[in-house]
């Protein structure tokens, strides 16, 4: 879907390139996370994809089209873009904000109204209640939902997301990460996602590109990066708690058994990751948790031994 070859950018008076001969292949429906230290070139790379920054050298091909041969305005209307600051127009209603690109594309009013309501419902907001509200009336999390809805309005195949959850409190951030991960996968989009947070990268990405000083250091799945860091820099960057991070990639339902849970056992959702399930067990000083479905029905049990076994299996796979 996105092919980046030999991409370079040097800003005026800079001692070194911001992006230096970067090559990257992002497949359709993948969520590629760009991450690295401040100044590594991750945001510059992303902004060159929709030509908000013009590259000095190299090629960017999106959906088979060379972006340098597309009118920049047309290009940006075909790529969804979500930023940390959200950038909602304060004088426009929520419906008018979401309708920005469809209106520019010449959609008729009925089609726009239908799309606005569809997207409000998809991001878990009430069309009847929210379409005529203004951004000042929304919480930070609600504004971010509207920012994503606006980026999805014209149904673009590619979305760019630049630290979209960075300004939110930890609880809201974790909730929206899970919610938008579900939405984006349901909609089958190709995503380029910039973050400085390795936990967010592991949670959101199907592949992670770790950058340093404008260059690509490692590009692989979260599992591979946690299990086989390419060098000492990557090992230090992902942190000393790689073992716990690996548990966050495993789901409770895959390690539960059908045995009965003891009375008073803590409950964990079957969709929870093993790291959070482990935290629940340790907090409750329990050896066994009851695994529940979305309706709260018990579907089995998860034990500390099962979590230990899962971790041991992951350790064996790394060898």
pLDDT digits (tens, 9 = 90+) for 203-248: 899 999 999 999 999 999 998 898 889 999 999 998 877 777 888 8
pLDDT for position 187: 85
> In this structure, what token pair is assigned to residue 163?
């630290």
pTM to 2 decimal places: 0.81
Predicted pLDDT of residue 169: 77
Query: Do the strands 2-9 and 19-26 form a parallel or antiparallel pair, or are they unpaired?
Result: antiparallel
Residues 6+ apart with CB under 8 A from 129: none
- Do 20 and 179 form a contact (C-beta atoms < 8 A)? no
Cite the DSSP H helix spans in 242-303.
242-247, 274-283
3-class DSSP state for residue 156? coil
Residues sharing a CB contact under 8 Å with residue 119, sequence separation 6 or more, in sequence order: 98, 149, 152, 153
Q: 218, 32 in Cβ contact below 8 A?
A: no
Place of tokens 């056992």: 265
pLDDT tens, position by position, 254-267: 999 998 888 899 99
Q: For residue 266, how many other CB atoms are within 10 A of its CB? A: 16
Cβ–Cβ < 8 Å for 274, 256:
no
Tens-level pLDDT at each residue, the chain (319 residues): 899 999 999 999 888 999 999 999 999 999 999 999 999 999 999 999 999 999 999 999 999 999 999 999 999 989 999 887 677 899 999 999 999 999 999 999 999 999 999 999 988 899 999 999 999 999 888 898 898 899 999 999 999 999 888 777 777 777 788 888 888 778 889 999 999 888 889 889 999 999 999 999 999 999 889 888 999 999 999 887 777 788 888 899 999 999 888 889 999 999 888 888 998 998 899 999 999 998 999 999 999 999 888 877 655 455 4
Contacts of 131 (CB under 8 A, 6+ apart): 93, 94, 95, 116, 117, 120
**pLDDT reported for residue 313:** 61
Query: Any residues with CB less than 8 A from the CB of 36 and at least 6 apart, and which?
Result: 42, 196, 210, 211, 212, 217, 237
Whole-angstrom distance, CA of residue 222 vs CA of residue 227: 8
């Amino acid at each position: 879907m996105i092919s980046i070859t030999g991409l370079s950018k040097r800003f005026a008076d800079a001692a070194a390139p911001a992006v230096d001969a970067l090559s990257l292949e992002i497949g359709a429906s993948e969520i590629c996370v760009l991450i690295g230290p401040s100044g590594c070139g991750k945001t510059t790379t992303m902004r060159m994809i929709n030509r908000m920054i013009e590259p000095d050298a190299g090629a960017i091909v999106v959906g088979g089209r060379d972006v340098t041969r597309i009118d920049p305005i047309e290009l940006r209307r075909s790529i969804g873009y979500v930023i940390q600051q959200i950038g909602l127009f304060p004088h426009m209603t929520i419906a008018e904000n979401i309708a920005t690109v469809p209106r520019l594309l010449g959609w008729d009013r009925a089609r726009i109204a239908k799309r606005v309501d569809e997207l409000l419902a998809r991001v878990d907001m009430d069309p009847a209640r929210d379409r005529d509200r203004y951004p000042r009336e929304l919480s930070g999390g609600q504004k971010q939902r509207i920012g994503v809805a606006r980026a999805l309005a014209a149904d673009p195949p590619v979305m760019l997301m630049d630290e979209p959850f960075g300004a939110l409190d930890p609880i809201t951030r974790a909730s929206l990460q899970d919610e938008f991960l579900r939405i984006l996968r349901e909609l089958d989009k190709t995503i380029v996602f910039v973050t400085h947070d390795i936990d967010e990268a592991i949670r959101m990405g199907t592949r992670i590109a770790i950058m340093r000083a404008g260059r690509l250091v490692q590009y692989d799945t979260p599992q591979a990066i946690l299990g086989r860091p390419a060098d000492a820099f990557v090992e230090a960057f992902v942190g000393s708690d790689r073992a716990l991070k690996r548990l966050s990639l495993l789901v409770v339902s895959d390690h539960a058994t059908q045995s009965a849970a003891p009375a008073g056992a803590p409950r964990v959702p079957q969709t929870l990751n093993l790291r959070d399930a482990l935290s629940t067990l340790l907090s409750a000083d329990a050896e066994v948790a009851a695994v529940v479905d979305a309706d709260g029905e018990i579907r089995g049990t998860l034990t500390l031994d099962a979590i230990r076994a899962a971790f041991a299996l992951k350790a064996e796979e790394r060898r």
